[in-house]
Amino acid sequence: MPKYMLIMRGTDESNAAMMASIEEGIARTRHFIEEMMKAGVLLGAEGLDDPGQGAVVDFSGEAPVVTDGPYGETKELFGGFFLLDVASKQEAVEWAKRVPAAPGSKIEIRRVPEEDEVPQDSTVQR
């Protein structure tokens, strides 16, 4: 069945709003995760740390170049994900609408291709 990833894209404003009431945010997220588990649709979820603590590896040149800190100038940084096993894209959308996301943030919904949509080594060999 189709798998979809709900990609959390926070902004500086939404991250600040989230941090302002972090305990409530954690409790609501935990409740939301339980709801998805009870519906039998949750496969995985992770939240990411402050992008300032990360690093970027850039392959533009001949050798990879490593820079500490957040990725580029983007305003909507990838902050975490939920991976869902649902019956349809509409169901993924319906779950996304229920995410306790902070005002100003966005959720990107992307489908994970099925195994048989990915080119296989074995097929190439034949």
Contact residues for other proteins, defined by CB under 8 A: 1, 34, 37-41, 43, 85-91, 93-95, 115-116, 120-123
Instruction: Return the number of the residue (33 or 55) whose C-beta is nearest other proteins.
Output: 33
Q: How far apart are CA 42 and CA 66, in angstroms?
A: 34
Instruction: Return the number of the residue (40 or 61) whose C-beta is nearest other proteins.
Output: 40
Structure-token pair, residue 40: 């039998």
Rounded to a whole number of angstroms, the minimum distance from the CB of residue 105 to other proteins is 20
- Residue 14 CB-half CA count within 13 A: 17
Question: Alpha helix locations (H) across the chain?
Answer: 12-20, 22-38, 89-97, 121-125
Rounded to a whole number of angstroms, the minimum distance from the CB of residue 118 to other proteins is 9
Rounded to a whole number of angstroms, the minimum distance from the CB of residue 91 to other proteins is 4
